[in-house]
Homo-oligomer: A and B are copies of this chain.
Amino acid sequence: MSSENEATKSVEPSDHAERLRELVDSAPAEELQLYLSSLAPSELGLAVSRLDEDRQVAVLTRVSPEDAASVVEQIPESQAIDALDRLEPGVAAAILQELPSNEQADLLGELKDAGAEAILDRMDPHEAAGARVLRAYGDDVAGGLMITEVLSYADHLTVGDVVEDMRQNADRYSAYVVQYAYVVDAEKRLIGVLRLRDLLLARRERPIRELAIPGPLTVRDDTSIQDLRAFFDANEYYGVPVVDAESRLLGVVMTSAVEERLSERSEDEYLKSQGLVREELRSMPYLRRSGRRLAWLSVNILLNFAAASVIAAYQDTLSAVITLAVFLPIISDMSGCSGNQAVAVSMRELALGTVRPEELLWVWWKELQVGIINGIALGCMIALAAWIWQGNPYLGAVVGCALMLNTLVAVSIGGLLPLVLKRLGVDPALASGPILTTITDMCGFFLVFSIASMVLVKLIAS
């Protein structure tokens, strides 16, 4: 697209990407670095995300690790992972060391094992050891969401010792979350929480043991993200200490990390419901984008053929009453819509925790109540429209009954399918839609034709 064709006022994003492309291709590293630091963070992310992979790798290689790290934070995660995968392990290690521990762990967790190991081998051994521990946790448990940059002090120290330590390490601690410090015993077990403002009000000689609030609320490292959200809903903290089975302090989970991860998950869910398996951005190579979309579409077309075979089986009925063909796509689409509404409510309720995968009967009953009303309403609408349009009340009755009954089928399956798939360990966001529409199509076509067969004489008479 040449920019002369652009019938718009604001063309900055493409302009930045264009300029960046030129600089990557021809300018010295210093000029590139200068340009990158002239961009606002969001512009930087936008511009780099528009580059192809080779140029993204070139940018990350040619600027300082600090600048490369801020680029990695700004571009979408899937691009950051692809780029890290293609960088020299030593370069990738230098960049990762500039990121906080939870972001390090996130990115390393998404890399293939061999690639992650190569990078970890080249990191500072102390930091690598921490990253290895974090990487072993899943994304959706406290251990995978926590940061390890926290202040902890042995319980025999005094207020003065702590203040002195803070003075000496002021630089290093400046990136820490220091609303609290944690008091641990000789075995690193968490025994209390020290509020900084209490330190402020206390005499220097006082042992911190006396000052700390004993028995602080903690979570285990394997606490699920749902339980973490429930915890933060119930307790107005911005962070909670994470401990292992022996009560040893491992880190702190911030409520913002929990919310960010939940936000990612619900974005994923919407994308998956359209068969977009991994985050797609239009700056990715088009072959990969079409390949990913096609994988899901191919399964869908097979399922569509299964559904269409019902129509093929009833070709005699159809050729006798050709008008039925007009209503088949309407019944298919409307049943799909009703069913997908039930899927979306179930997905939402599962995510909120207001329904559990076992509660099939409760969900079914709740969906049937809605399905009966909406089935009658939609059935009457289509019946009336068919009657008026085609001048045959029997035709109206056939398609009306079919849609009414099929709405009940659709909301039942739509409501229950996510619960059943979740219990079976299949991702309900990805699979519910195609399975639902295949069943509702087959069932809908079957209902139309079998009801039509019953009153065939009346339909042809018209």
Contact = CB atoms under 8 A, between A and B. Distances in A.
Contacts of A462: none
A455 to B, nearest CB: 19
Contacts of A294: 373-374, 377-378
What range describes how many residues of A lie at the interface? Answer: 35 or more
A304 B330 contact: yes
Contacts of A336: 333
B308 A327 contact: yes
A223 to B, nearest CB: 12
A7 B178 CA distance: 50
A6, A254, A274: most-surrounded residue (chain B CB, <10 A): A274
Contact of A286 (B46, B226, B330, B366): B366
A425 B36 CA distance: 33
Given A73-B233, A199-B200, A282-B363, A326 B312 contact: yes
Interface stretch (A125-133, A183-191, A344-352): A344-352
Q: Is chain A's binding surface mostly helix, strand, loop or mixed? A: helix
Interface in A143-181: 163, 166-167, 170, 173, 175, 177-179
A325 B328 contact: yes
A325 B418 CA distance: 31
Nearest to A375: B290
A367 B281 CA distance: 11
B179 A305 contact: no
A63 B44 CA distance: 52
Given A234-B70, A238-B177, A254-B238, A337 B274 contact: yes
A412 interface: no
A9 B358 contact: yes
Interface stretch (A104-112, A241-249, A316-324): A316-324
A163 B362 contact: no
Contacts of A14: 359, 362
Given A256-B259, A370-B293, A41 B230 contact: yes
18 contacts: A10-B356, A42-B233, A45-B353, A170-B197, A173-B197, A175-B236, A179-B196, A256-B256, A270-B273, A275-B337, A286-B370, A290-B374, A293-B338, A297-B374, A309-B326, A325-B325, A328-B328, A332-B332
